[in-house]
A and B are shown apart, each in its own frame.
Chain A
Amino acid sequence: MMAATGPSRSAEPARSPGRELDPATLERARRGDPMAFRAFVVRYERPVFSLLSRILGRGPEVEDLAQETFLRAFRALPSFDPNGPARVSTWLLTIATRLALDSKRRTRPEPASTEPEVETTSPERAAMHHELREAIAAALEGLSDDQRAAFVLAEFHGFSLKEIEAALDVPVATLKTRLFRAREKLARALESFEEER
């Protein structure tokens, strides 16, 4: 009787893309092995849900798009090159990011300015209520969808600038500005909260 430990659903650190699926299982998943594909889903479901939640906000749409992400991955896996430059997690999260941004564009127009004034989102007011979560939410409201996606990919999923450039189709220079703005706004929200405490 052969026994092998399967993938677990243990939590993984936020800033890490985590260990990739082992090459043998990935290869079996590429060939359409259902059990291997299931292992693929189990391995990456948390990062995908995390990414989608942070770009879209929490709600039923997260699961819908997570399913769509994995279905697209299932169709495209045979053409994914495991020996290529992209990690499979980067590839998968790029699919999820694009689906999320497409969905946001369909359901809600982008803010007129990609650099909205942080003051309009009133993080100070939120901080006055001594609710860090509210302060963060307020700061996030001030980010454009692309800013938010770039920030989430960089800070929570370990994407490099090159990888974010490929995922969002945005030049690195623009990306740097967006990341700077996003970090600045979130840092300001956290600082304001700390000061109020």
Chain B
Amino acid sequence: MDLRRLEDAWPVDEPPRDFAERVTARALAERRPAPRRRARIWLAAVAVAAAAALVFALSSERGMGSGGHEALARTELSLGARARVVLEAGAKLRWSDDVVTQSEGEIFYRVEPGARFVVKTPAGDVSVLGTCFRVRVGTATAKGDGEVKRRELGMAAGGAALAALAVITVYEGKVQLSHASGRVTLAAGEAGKLGPDGAKKLDPTELASAEKSLEERPSGLAQANENLASDIADLNRRLKSVEKEKGKLESELADAERALALRADGGKPRSRHEFDLDQDDWTELAKDGTIKYRHPCFKPNGWNPDAEKIAELGIAPDDVPAIDAAYKRSYERTWKSIRPLCAKAIGNPEVADVLGPDTCTHVVVDTLRRQDGSGVSEAMRQVAEVRAGQRPAPSGKDVHPVYELFWTLTGAMSAFETDLAESLGPEEAKRLAYSKNLCAGHSTFGGPGPRSK
């Protein structure tokens, strides 16, 4: 019996998006009577319109340091010793000392009891003590209780002013919503909002309306970027076409190199994949500073192969989660390094997001080549020489952005392989990493030539 076909023909219900939160809240509610239980508050569904930001001020003797994270998949973070957060894909978070700012997406927070914890939004403040809650940042529809007027969205997108809507549902404990026009206290099971018209309690219908409005429209900022994204998409298409041609030429070049190597080596074929480079390979590449690498396809949403692909790769269905996780980790690792370089090169992080890692790589190299051609050449040589073991890795101010870019990319497949090896073992990881059926990209950046004596 073909179980795959049977499975396809026998559809199942999917868990709702917030199923885990609701079940967890119910489970905790059952535990509530415990007399010495620590006070915790659960809030859910806080929606803030457009570019509105939520800021969390933690008055704690233990600081959080500073940083930021943009989740490409569901991600769990700890903010210092007191707060833990789970970011859904697309959520953006930054923090500095004891202030946390959420600018986009949906984030679930848990804060241990302690000093006062303040959520600041352009619409007002949410004050809690120990708490667990979910914050959702998006765009309200232009109707219903969660109304944010188009004019206000336009202003927000333009950066001149921010119109915000925050919807909060409390599962446990109490939360205070503060706005210039007044304060509202929410108890467990109640919902409220902070918006242009102040702080207000919401009944279930109003809450559902506000939540639904988030599902229906992109964020104001996203809306403002639509035109820009369209232009960039066109540019991307053209770049992809060029890259496709480049890939074809690289493939032909690789074939020619293989044939040449075969002749030079008396007919002895290379046993490794041509992009599985060891120190000897890098020694050759370092002679003229050429950079070549193979990297896993950039898959922010993971890898979901069909039966045919599973068969092609010669893996068991049980292996899929491990490969899926390795793709996600690879993407996060690579994009974490490339995104800031790209954002700096083009001066706009949102545009970097639209371009993605592939195009950003070329944008960074090309932009920096125009600005500092010799610096780029030296950075490429450095990568090859460090990989060849001819020199130590640079550090601190000596690290050129192109060095950082190529260091990441030339190590991408090796890191992917290491991730796979954790679950599948080193041999299978190697086989998969260099399998022709694995979704992967190859690039070769010609070097500047031999160092002048």
Interface of A toward B, CB cutoff 8 Å: 1-16, 18-19, 32, 34-35, 37-39, 41-42, 45-46, 48-50, 52-54, 58-59, 62-63, 66-67, 70-71, 74-75, 132-133, 135-136, 140, 155-156, 183, 186-187, 190
Task: Report how far A10 CA is from B299 CA in the complex, Å.
Answer: 12
CB neighbours (8 Å) of B69 from chain A are 3
Task: Report how far A16 CA is from B320 CA in the complex, Å.
Answer: 10
Is B237 at the interface (CB under 8 A from chain A)? no
Tell me how far the C-beta of B25 lies from the nearest C-beta in chain A, rounded to whole angstroms: 9
B71 (CB) vs chain A CBs: closest residue = A6
Task: Report how far A7 CA is from B132 CA in the complex, Å.
Answer: 18
Task: Report how far A10 CA is from B331 CA in the complex, Å.
Answer: 15
Contact A67 B321 (CB under 8 A): no
Given contacts A1-B77, A18-B321, whether A53 and B24 have CB atoms under 8 Å apart is no
Contact A136 B16 (CB under 8 A): no
Question: Could you say which of A38, A58, A136 contacts B24, with CB atoms under 8 Å apart?
Answer: A38
CB neighbours (8 Å) of B80 from chain A are 1
* Cβ proximity bits B44-80 to A, threshold 8 Å, 1 near / 0 not: 0000000000000000000011110100011111111
Report the interface size class on chain B: 35 or more
CB neighbours (8 Å) of A59 from chain B are 13
Tell me how far the C-beta of A111 lies from the nearest C-beta in chain B, rounded to whole angstroms: 20
Task: Report how far A1 CA is from B68 CA in the complex, Å.
Answer: 10
Tell me how far the C-beta of B325 lies from the nearest C-beta in chain A, rounded to whole angstroms: 8
Is B231 at the interface (CB under 8 A from chain A)? no
Task: Report how far A173 CA is from B69 CA in the complex, Å.
Answer: 55
When A and B form their complex, what is the total count of cross-chain residue pairs whose Cβ atoms lie within 8 Å? 153
* Cβ proximity bits B136-175 to A, threshold 8 Å, 1 near / 0 not: 0000000000000000000000000000000000000000
Is B234 at the interface (CB under 8 A from chain A)? no
Given contacts A41-B19, A71-B23, whether A19 and B6 have CB atoms under 8 Å apart is no
A75 (CB) vs chain B CBs: closest residue = B30
Task: Report how far A139 CA is from B329 CA in the complex, Å.
Answer: 42
Task: Report how far A193 CA is from B63 CA in the complex, Å.
Answer: 65
CB neighbours (8 Å) of A136 from chain B are 6, 9-10
Contact A67 B23 (CB under 8 A): yes
CB neighbours (8 Å) of A38 from chain B are 20-21, 24, 86, 108
CB neighbours (8 Å) of A133 from chain B are 9-11
Contact B320 A187 (CB under 8 A): no
A18 (CB) vs chain B CBs: closest residue = B321
Tell me how far the C-beta of B352 lies from the nearest C-beta in chain A, rounded to whole angstroms: 20
Tell me how far the C-beta of A9 lies from the nearest C-beta in chain B, rounded to whole angstroms: 7
Is B264 at the interface (CB under 8 A from chain A)? no
Is B180 at the interface (CB under 8 A from chain A)? no
Given contacts A1-B67, A4-B77, A53-B13, whether A10 and B24 have CB atoms under 8 Å apart is no
Task: Report how far A10 CA is from B6 CA in the complex, Å.
Answer: 20
Question: Which of the listed residues B14, B75, B86, B320 has the most CB atoms from chain A within 10 Å of its own CB?
Answer: B14
Given contacts A1-B79, A18-B321, A53-B13, whether A183 and B1 have CB atoms under 8 Å apart is yes
Contact A58 B11 (CB under 8 A): yes
CB neighbours (8 Å) of B20 from chain A are 38, 41-42, 45
Is B206 at the interface (CB under 8 A from chain A)? no
Contact A15 B302 (CB under 8 A): no
Task: Report how far A53 CA is from B14 CA in the complex, Å.
Answer: 9
Task: Report how far A32 CA is from B32 CA in the complex, Å.
Answer: 12
Task: Report how far A118 CA is from B112 CA in the complex, Å.
Answer: 59
Tell me how far the C-beta of B301 lies from the nearest C-beta in chain A, rounded to whole angstroms: 8
Is B200 at the interface (CB under 8 A from chain A)? no
Question: Which of the listed residues A8, A50, A63 has the most CB atoms from chain B within 10 Å of its own CB?
Answer: A8
B87 (CB) vs chain A CBs: closest residue = A6
Give 9 A-B contacts (CB < 8 Å), ordered by A residue.
A1-B67, A1-B80, A2-B78, A13-B317, A18-B321, A38-B86, A46-B14, A133-B11, A187-B1
Tell me how far the C-beta of B310 lies from the nearest C-beta in chain A, rounded to whole angstroms: 8
Given contacts A34-B24, A74-B27, A155-B3, whether A49 and B10 have CB atoms under 8 Å apart is no
Is B266 at the interface (CB under 8 A from chain A)? no
Contact B28 A34 (CB under 8 A): yes
Chain B 101-132 residues near chain A, CB threshold 8 A: 108, 110, 132
Is B328 at the interface (CB under 8 A from chain A)? yes
Question: Could you say which of A10, A46, A67 contacts B324, with CB atoms under 8 Å apart?
Answer: A10
Tell me how far the C-beta of B231 lies from the nearest C-beta in chain A, rounded to whole angstroms: 32
CB neighbours (8 Å) of B423 from chain A are 19
CB neighbours (8 Å) of B386 from chain A are none
Question: Could you say which of A15, A35, A53, A155 contacts B317, with CB atoms under 8 Å apart?
Answer: A15
Contact B27 A1 (CB under 8 A): no
Is B2 at the interface (CB under 8 A from chain A)? yes
A7 (CB) vs chain B CBs: closest residue = B74
Chain B 302-318 residues near chain A, CB threshold 8 A: 302, 304, 317-318
A6 (CB) vs chain B CBs: closest residue = B76
Task: Report how far A34 CA is from B134 CA in the complex, Å.
Answer: 14
Task: Report how far A59 CA is from B86 CA in the complex, Å.
Answer: 29
Contact B321 A12 (CB under 8 A): yes
Task: Report how far A14 CA is from B9 CA in the complex, Å.
Answer: 12
Task: Report how far A53 CA is from B7 CA in the complex, Å.
Answer: 12
CB neighbours (8 Å) of B22 from chain A are 67
Contact B4 A14 (CB under 8 A): yes
Task: Report how far A66 CA is from B318 CA in the complex, Å.
Answer: 24
Question: Could you say which of A10, A66, A70, A140 contacts B302, with CB atoms under 8 Å apart?
Answer: A10
Question: Could you say which of A9, A13, A41, A70 contacts B74, with CB atoms under 8 Å apart?
Answer: A9
Task: Report how far A42 CA is from B86 CA in the complex, Å.
Answer: 12
CB neighbours (8 Å) of A67 from chain B are 19, 22-23, 26
Task: Report how far A8 CA is from B320 CA in the complex, Å.
Answer: 13
Task: Report how far A4 CA is from B85 CA in the complex, Å.
Answer: 10
CB neighbours (8 Å) of B321 from chain A are 10, 12, 18-19
